[in-house]
Amino acid sequence: MVCTLTNEFYDVCIKPEGAELTSIKDKHGHEYLWQADASVWNRHAPILFPIVGALKNGVYTYKGRSYSLSQHGFARDTVFTLLQNSDNYAEFQLKSDLNTLRNYPFEFDFRVIYELKGNTLVNRFEVRNSGAEDMLFSLGGHPAFNLNWLDGDSIEDYYIEFDQPETLPLWTLDNSLLSNTSEPYLNNDKVINLHESIFDRDALIFLDHKSKSIALKHKTNGRSLTVDISEFPHLGIWAKPSAPYVCIEPWQGHVDPEGHNGQLRDKPGIVELPQGDIYRAGFSICITGL
């Protein structure tokens, strides 16, 4: 059953499958979230847990045993339990069980929280280590935003803007793994102009950015959708080539590098959470110029 949130700015929907955000509409009825057209890309805003990106050969090793996980982990394809729901708040839970333990040998209690605060939708994560040993994981967000704010829009009508000038190389994917080499991309720049071929080589991957937020902006009407990425060190920007959406993805970790040794503890961005501790992180979405 779909969960709904509402206030004077937005109507929001979340489904228990993956605790996935499925709709962000303003009060004029305009939809900002990609509607999972199966002929293009069949997701809206998947949650990435307990890994981000793909594993080398689809396998990792922990304490001498090999396990397999699909890209971005299992949370996005698992039904969560709705713990709380009010007009402006929803909390979902996913707990480890026999199914998760087969390929991820850690006991956990993972909470996904959505809260409307004025014109901001907050998406928070809480990872609780309920096992008897340190827990290893990564997590991230993957919301996809429509590029149809005005009738007749194309991808060229939009740009991405960091809140601070960035000097960052571009990391690309090679057979779903992080390439061994990067290439110059941003040189004290804030803006990335979107265009039809920008994702022809897959995602744009930026590691260790300094910006606290990143905005999707329209070139002519002044509207802006800002994602607070201050609690995540890495960033992916992606869409299927020529598709009418763009994903802004705050990541704690990222895909395995080509030369990765396969050890889960050495996967980039892995968090080591002690027994009984809670890890908290999150991002938010704010639309202005409505």
* Alpha-carbon Rg for the chain in angstroms: 19
> Do the bridges between strand 3-6 and strand 120-129 make them parallel or antiparallel, or are there none, so unpaired?
unpaired
pLDDT for the residue numbered 202? 94
Measured distance CA(127)–CA(166) in Å, rounded:
31
pLDDT for the residue numbered 290? 73
pLDDT for the residue numbered 12? 98
Percent of the chain whose pLDDT exceeds 70: 100
Q: Where are the domains of the chain?
A: 3-288
**Residue 214 DSSP code:** E
pLDDT for the residue numbered 188? 98
- The DSSP annotation for 141-187 comes to E--EEES-SSTT--GGGEEEEEEEEEEEEEEEEETTEEEEEEEEEEE
Q: Which fold has domain 3-288?
A: Beta-galactosidase; Chain A, domain 5 (2.70.98)
Helix (H, G, I), strand (E, B) or coil at 266: helix
- The DSSP annotation for 73-107 comes to -SGGGSBPEEEEEETTEEEEEEE--HHHHHH----
Helix (H, G, I), strand (E, B) or coil at 265: helix
pLDDT at 1 over 90: no
- The model's pTM is 0.96
The model's confidence at residue 144, banded by pLDDT at 50, 70 and 90, is very high
Report pLDDT digits (tens) over 71-119: 999 999 999 999 999 999 999 999 999 999 999 999 999 999 999 999 9
Report pLDDT digits (tens) over 38-80: 999 999 999 999 999 999 999 999 999 999 999 999 999 999 9
pLDDT for the residue numbered 84? 95
Report pLDDT digits (tens) over 170-223: 999 988 899 999 999 999 999 999 999 999 999 999 999 999 999 999 999 889
